[in-house]
Amino acid sequence: MQPHPSPENSYLYQYLSENGTFNIAPYTFPAMQSFCSSSGSYQNYPFEGSVVTDITPQDRALAALRNHKEAEKRRRERINSHLDKLRTLLPCNSKIDKASLLAKVVQRVKELKQQTSQISGLDSFPSETDEISVLSEEYSSDGQLIFKASLCCEDRSDLLPELIQTLKSLHLKTLRAEMVTLGGRMRNVLLVSAEKDHSIESVHFLQNALKSLMERSNSTDRSKRRRVLDRKLIIQ
C-alpha cells in the first residue's frame, strides 16, 4: 500500500484544495480527486458556489485548519517535553513508554509524599543540633497550601509569641502548633496554611524568617540546661 507523505485527508481540506483558491499548495491525494463531485452530506456545504476573490472563505477555513494543525503540534510537543523531563528525573532509562513512565511517576510521588510526612512527624523530640525545616505539604481540601515548619533550638519561653507574630506578618494561619521541650532544648512544629496570595516560593520566606528568629534566640545565650523539666504542649 502506497502511503501518502502528508495525510491531508480531511474532507474539508480535500474540498477546499480543489474548489477554492489554493495558496498553500499541499499534497493532494490522487485517489481523492473525485471526492467532491459525488453526492453526499457535503452537498449543502456552506462554501458551495462561493465567489473566488482575494481572500475567500476557503482561504480562511484553510488557514484555520492549518493553525489548528500547528497548535495541536505545539500542544503535543509541550506535553512530550514534560514527559522527557520526567524521564530524566526518574530512575528509568529514556526509552520507557509513556504509560509506564506515568505509572512510575505516580508511585514516586506517593513515596516521596509519605517520606516527607514521616520524616517530620508532629511528635518528634528536640535534637541536639539547631534545625530548621519547612516542607510544603499537600493542599488542603479547600485548596489551601499547607506548610509544615519545624524549628529546633535552645529552650526559650518567649519564642512562641515571637513565632506567632512572625507567622502573622507573613499572612500565614497557624492550624496546629506543637512544642516539645526536653533537656533544655525545644522543638516547635507548626502546621500553617497559606493565604490565596501565597505560592510555593513562600517556603523560602518562612525559612528565612525562622532562621533570623532562631539567630536572635541564640544571641541571648543561656547555656544552662534544665534536664529536669520535660514537657509537651499541644495547641490545637
Partner DNA sequence: GGTCACACGTGATAC
Partner DNA sequence: TGTATCACGTGTGAC
Query: What is the rounded radius of gyration, in angstroms, for the C-alpha atoms of the chain?
Result: 32
Residue 161 beta carbon to its own copies: minimum distance, rounded to whole angstroms: 26
What is the rounded distance in angstroms from the CA atom of residue 205 to the CA atom of residue 26?
Answer: 56
Nearer to its own copies, 222 or 225 (CB): 225
Name the segment binding its own copies (CB under 8 A); options: 41-49, 64-72, 158-166, 215-223.
Answer: 41-49
- The three-class DSSP label of residue 131 is strand
Find, among 172, 178, 156, the residue nearest to 206 by Cα: 172
**Binding status of residue 22 toward its own copies by CB under 8 A:** no
Per the CB < 8 A criterion, the answer to whether 217 and 159 are in contact is: yes
Binding residue (CB under 8 A) for its own copies from 75, 173, 216, 225: 75
Compare residues 76 and 225 and give the one whose CB is closer to DNA.
Answer: 76
Q: Kindly state the cell numbers that stand for 141.
A: 481540601
Burial class from Cβ neighbours inside 10 Å (0-12, 13-18, 19+) for residue 145 reads buried
Per CB under 8 A, the list member of 60, 113, 222, 225 interacting with its own copies is 113
Residue 160 cell numbers, joined? 512562641
The three grid cell numbers given for residue 173, joined into one nine-digit string: 494561619
Beta carbons of 202 and 140 less than 8 angstroms apart: no
Binding mask 165-204 for its own copies (x = CB under 8 A): -----------------xx----------------x----
For its own copies, the binding residues (CB under 8 A) are 1-2, 4, 9, 11-12, 29-42, 44-46, 75, 78-79, 82-83, 85-86, 89-93, 98-99, 102-103, 105-113, 115-116, 118-120, 124-129, 133, 135-136, 138-139, 143, 145, 182-183, 200
